[in-house]
Amino acid sequence: MSKQAALDDVVNAILTFDSSKVMEATNKAVNAGIDPVKIIEQGLTKGLRIIGKKFEDGELFLMHLVAAAEASKKALNEILEPRMAKTSTERKSLGKVVIGTVAGDIHDIGKNIVASMLFAAGFEVHDLGKDVTVEQFINKAKEVNTNIVASSTLLSTTMSVQGDIVKALSAEQMRGKVKAIVGGAPTTEDWAKEIGADGFGENAIEAVNVAKRVLGIN
């Protein structure tokens, strides 16, 4: 099998939404001697972008985005990142994003999809998971010298935490270099403006566009 065929197999595996097939295709690509960065960019990322476009066009549903995001994340975490760490290879990044679901909220499907789409677009994503405190957001932002802090919430009762994150960034004098973007079912463009956030993403595709916009990326 040629290296291009192996990469195509990774793309096609992503399009099946089957985690086991994605893992198998990714392993075959690694064993074929393909650079992990190339597998990410021309395999996983390419597949996720195709799915993202189909979702945007109404051809696919949320469950498809979830399945593809989880499959690609598993392959990345369990196969490619360890290999990259061993060979010290890095892919070019559009910027760093610290993302998480705010404290008091354990819903993370939407956040996971956004994280995967940001990764697919070329961002370096640091996913803090769910029920993340303001302090954890700030500490991670400092640790990785992030460009964006992205917070998600599904509950109206935890929306205020997004405002607290913006306030904390200001208190730490980080607002000049760190952009804050928000998302989640109860959030709106007006809410983002009210708390002083830099942007609002209604869905995963829009979140990527917003991230690029706030960093001045065309």
pLDDT single digits (tens) 4-36: 999 999 999 999 999 999 999 999 999 999 999
Structure tokens at 98: 């610290």
Low-confidence winner among 103-112, 134-143, 191-200 (lowest mean pLDDT)? 103-112
The three-class DSSP label of residue 60 is coil
User: Given a cut of 70, is residue 88 above it in pLDDT?
Assistant: no
The pLDDT mean for the chain works out to 93
**CA-based nearest residue to 22, from 7, 32, 34:** 7
Mean pLDDT of 108-118: 88
**Per-residue confidence (pLDDT) for residue 109, from 0 to 100:** 83
Mean pLDDT of 51-62: 90
Q: Which domains does the chain have, with CATH numbers?
A: 3-87 (1.10.1240.10), 96-214 (3.40.50.280)
Q: How many CB atoms lie within 10 A of CB 89?
A: 14
8 A C-beta contact, residue 207 and residue 118: yes
8 A C-beta contact, residue 131 and residue 106: yes
User: Given a cut of 90, is residue 153 above it in pLDDT?
Assistant: yes
Q: Annotate 5-44 with b (16+ C-beta within 10 A) or e (fewer).
A: ebbbbbbebbbebebebbbebbebbbeeebbbbebbbbbb
Confidence of residue 121 (pLDDT cuts 50, 70, 90): confident
pLDDT tens digits for range 64-73 = 988 998 899 8
Mean pLDDT of 176-202: 96
Task: Provide the whole-model pTM.
Answer: 0.79
